[in-house]
Amino acid sequence: MSTETSSGKLDTIVIGWGKGGKTLAGALARAGEKVAIVEQSAQMYGGTCINIGCVPTKALIHDAEQHADGIPASQKFDNAVQRRDDLTALLRAKNYSMLNDLDSVLVLTGRASFTGPKSIKVRTEEEELELSAARIIINTGAQPAVPQIPGASIGGRVHDSTTIQHAPLPKSLVVVGGGYVGIEFASVFGQFGSKVTVLDRGKRALSKEDADVASEVQSCLEDAGVTILSKAQVTGISQDSSCATVSFEVGGEPRQISADAVLIALGRTPATRELNLEAAGIRSGERGEIMVDEFLATSAEGVYALGDVTGGAQFTYVSLDDHRVLANHLLGDGTRSTKDRVAVPYTIFCTPPLSRVGLSEDQARKQGLSIKTAVKKVAAVAAMPRPKIVGDPRGIIKFVVDAQDDQILGAALMHVDSQEVINLVALAMRQGMAASQLRDQIFTHPSSTEALNEVLGELR
């Protein structure tokens, strides 16, 4: 679709090629609308997930877990990075063609910013275009947060979660941040042979998880040679041609640690700074997140926002569900809303992966709920041979159940295949299945799922 034939006749403009935006762009185009989708970089067709987020990092994690005797660690890492690059290139091309091949979709590569409530300008490499549409959808995602720490600017030996993926394999690495991103990268680089130190400012890493679950994660990280220092407040970073040095305090005592590289992993912030939201009358929050209602409408009529840019849970599958909500609002009966969501799971892809859904024990007790729990180390689960078969029987399984009505309130699964099993638990919760019903289901053998038969039988 050419700019000449589309200028001034667009029904919808989508800014950003994330999961929700690209899927909605295709749905609207197939419904007969003329759609423009704007992506700031040709290297980001398809969005964060397939290019620098979920897919490439999990490819690196998978390859880190493979034992390749006789291959130097640096070569193993380089091979993994090349496979990562080949995979993302394939997926990026597929995502581009999915929209570019539609006659009613205009694909633009450039930076978009609002010039009014229903208009934007797009700066491409060749020109600056003015576009307007009856509807605009913002799907620009999030970007790594850079803290106000002296020397924390990304460059040289200091990396964020994007640049670290193409850095030379460091013999030593300091990870600033003990959250989910920091833990994943600590796990992957530890398994590639790096000496990793995680500096976490909290009382303990993974503070949102129950202590017994977090302890199991830390134990597995230690198996990979990772050291976690808690209550560590970073005060500065310096670097030279030989190393980077991180200055920090623990209990008021100043310390330093030097390494080949530093990874800043202190979360991600909504990518809205260059959008000129004020020109459209779009309200945003303190972190730049776009404020939306339960139907994903912004404060500007006809402007919507999807995915990470709204400041909610930063998961690709939530962005996809945002697409369902908005598609239902624009093309369906309008009954869906973001309030429909219950039991949304997540996985931290350390080794083995930690997956969780619903309430932790700590959260349930703080709410004053009457609960039962079942906790068991994976190695002690007799009816769960698969982790032993594949050579990694580490981990823990924990359920939190309402003591009155036997409803599952939450679960934490850290074991081989947990990223799959957690979806079954989440589905059971959405359907109101009692813990005893899930306990008595028939599961394949040998599998990780059949651990539910045994563990749920030990609720106390």
Give dist(CA 270, CA 283) in Å, integer: 13
Q: Kindly list the catalytic residues.
A: 445
Element containing residue 51 per DSSP (H, E): helix 48-51
Could you report the per-residue pLDDT of 316-329, keeping only the tens digit for each?
Answer: 999 999 999 999 99
Whether the per-residue pLDDT at 138 is higher than 70: the answer is: yes
Provide mean pLDDT across the span 293-314: 96
What pLDDT is recorded for position 75? Answer: 96
Portion of the chain with pLDDT greater than 90, in percent: 95
Cis peptide before 387 (omega within 30 of 0): no
**Residue 215 CB contacts under 8 Å (≥ 6 apart), including other chains:** none
What pLDDT is recorded for position 9? Answer: 84
CB 218 within 8 A of CB 194: no
CB 35 within 8 A of CB 25: yes
Q: What's the chain's average pLDDT?
A: 95
Nearest-CA neighbor of 156 among 171, 168, 141, 144? Answer: 168
Least confident of 5-14, 177-186, 208-217, 322-331: 5-14
What pLDDT is recorded for position 324? Answer: 97
Whether the per-residue pLDDT at 5 is higher than 80: the answer is: no
Could you report the per-residue pLDDT of 365-384, keeping only the tens digit for each?
Answer: 999 999 999 999 999 999 99
Q: Is the dihedral of CA 456, 457, 458, 460 positive or negative?
A: positive
Q: How confident is the model at residue 409 (pLDDT cuts 50, 70, 90)?
A: very high
Could you report the per-residue pLDDT of 185-210, keeping only the tens digit for each?
Answer: 999 999 999 999 999 999 988 999 99
What pLDDT is recorded for position 113? Answer: 98
What pLDDT is recorded for position 418? Answer: 98
Provide mean pLDDT across the span 156-182: 97
Whether the per-residue pLDDT at 6 is higher than 90: the answer is: no
**DSSP category for residue 370:** -
- Structure token pair of residue 350: 């350390």
- Structure token pair of residue 323: 């697409």
What pLDDT is recorded for position 205? Answer: 85
Portion of the chain with pLDDT greater than 70, in percent: 98
CA distances for 109 relative to 33, 119, 322, angstroms: 20, 17, 24
Residue type, 297: A
Whether the per-residue pLDDT at 2 is higher than 90: the answer is: no
**DSSP category for residue 379:** G
Nearest-CA neighbor of 259 among 238, 275, 279? Answer: 238
Give dist(CA 184, CA 221) in Å, integer: 10
What pLDDT is recorded for position 362? Answer: 98
What is the layout of strands, in order, in the sheet containing 158-159? 158-159, 261-264, 172-176, 195-199, 226-229
- Structure token pair of residue 67: 């034992």
Q: How confident is the model at residue 12 (pLDDT cuts 50, 70, 90)?
A: very high
Provide mean pLDDT across the span 20-32: 97
What pLDDT is recorded for position 68? Answer: 75
- Structure token pair of residue 427: 């589905």
Whether the per-residue pLDDT at 157 is higher than 50: the answer is: yes
CB 319 within 8 A of CB 46: no
**Residue 354 CB contacts under 8 Å (≥ 6 apart), including other chains:** 209, 213, 217, 347, 348, 412, 413, 414, 418
Element containing residue 380 per DSSP (H, E): none
Could you report the per-residue pLDDT of 41-90, keeping only the tens digit for each?
Answer: 999 999 999 999 999 999 999 999 998 778 999 999 999 999 999 999 99
Q: How confident is the model at residue 4 (pLDDT cuts 50, 70, 90)?
A: very low
What pLDDT is recorded for position 278? Answer: 97
Whether the per-residue pLDDT at 388 is higher than 60: the answer is: yes
Of residues 16 and 205, the one with the higher pLDDT is 16
Give dist(CA 40, CA 364) in Å, integer: 43
Task: Render the burial of 95-112: b for 16+ CB within 10 Å, e for the rest.
Answer: bbebbeebebbbbbbbbb
Residue 163 Ramachandran class (φ > 0 left, ψ -120 to 50 alpha, else beta):
alpha
